[in-house]
């Protein structure tokens, strides 16, 4: 493909016509359509590429849920360790989860005297990961560190009667 350029001559007022040729290409030339697909500029038309990720805006409600999840995870770890009374979680758990926590708390009190619990290494929450499969439900993955050991807790919280409550709690 050639292009034409016009250059005016200032002294004579005559316009000169120049022909511009394309630059020399080394090797085989690649058609533009193939280059675009190779660069994946148009993901809808590129074969074999994954679909675009679904992006979403984090709302104020989700920030509150993140904060609630972290506080809830810390409270559960403190109840299991004997540092907090299980009754403090009654409002934030279902009856089944509350009964399970009560059973675990009583088992700890029967096996370990209170003065020995105060001197031991306390468990700490290292991370809480939140997944929202439904607008009224969230699943938590909690990493707990206790001395040299790591443990996992899985929880499902659901919006029940206008507030978030834990409906499933599983210790790993």
Q: What is the pLDDT of residue 129?
A: 93
Q: What is the pLDDT of residue 57?
A: 55
pLDDT tens-digit profile of 122-149?
A: 888 999 999 999 889 999 999 999 888 9
Residue ranges in the chain modelled with pLDDT below 50: 34-43
How far apart (Å, rounded) are the C-alpha atoms in residues 110 and 115?
A: 13
* Residues 6+ positions from 163 with CB-CB distance below 8 Å: 91, 92
How far apart (Å, rounded) are the C-alpha atoms in residues 142 and 5?
A: 69
Q: What is the pLDDT of residue 28?
A: 63
Q: What is the pLDDT of residue 84?
A: 87
In sequence order, the β-bridge partners of residue 146 are 149
How far apart (Å, rounded) are the C-alpha atoms in residues 157 and 62?
A: 13
How far apart (Å, rounded) are the C-alpha atoms in residues 154 and 170?
A: 5
- For the chain, the residue count is 172
SS3 146: strand
SS3 36: helix
Domains contained in the chain, CATH given: 60-171 (3.10.450.50)
Q: What is the pLDDT of residue 81?
A: 84
């Amino acid at each position: 493909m050639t292009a034409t350029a016009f250059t005016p001559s200032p002294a004579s007022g005559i316009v000169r016509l120049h022909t511009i040729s394309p630059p020399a290409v080394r090797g085989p030339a690649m058609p533009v359509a193939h280059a675009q697909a190779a660069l994946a500029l148009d993901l809808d038309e590129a074969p074999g590429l994954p679909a675009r990720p679904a992006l979403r805006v984090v709302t104020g409600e989700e920030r509150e849920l993140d904060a609630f999840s972290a506080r809830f995870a810390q409270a559960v770890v403190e109840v299991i360790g004997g540092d907090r009374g299980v009754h403090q979680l009654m409002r934030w758990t279902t009856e089944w989860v509350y009964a399970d926590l009560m059973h675990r708390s009583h088992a700890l009190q029967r096996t370990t005297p209170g003065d020995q619990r105060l001197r031991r290494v306390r468990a700490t929450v290292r991370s809480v990961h939140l997944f929202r499969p439904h607008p009224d439900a969230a699943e938590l993955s909690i990493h707990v560190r206790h001395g040299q050991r790591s443990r996992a807790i899985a929880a499902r919280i659901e919006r029940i009667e206008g507030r978030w409550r834990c409906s499933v709690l599983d210790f790993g």
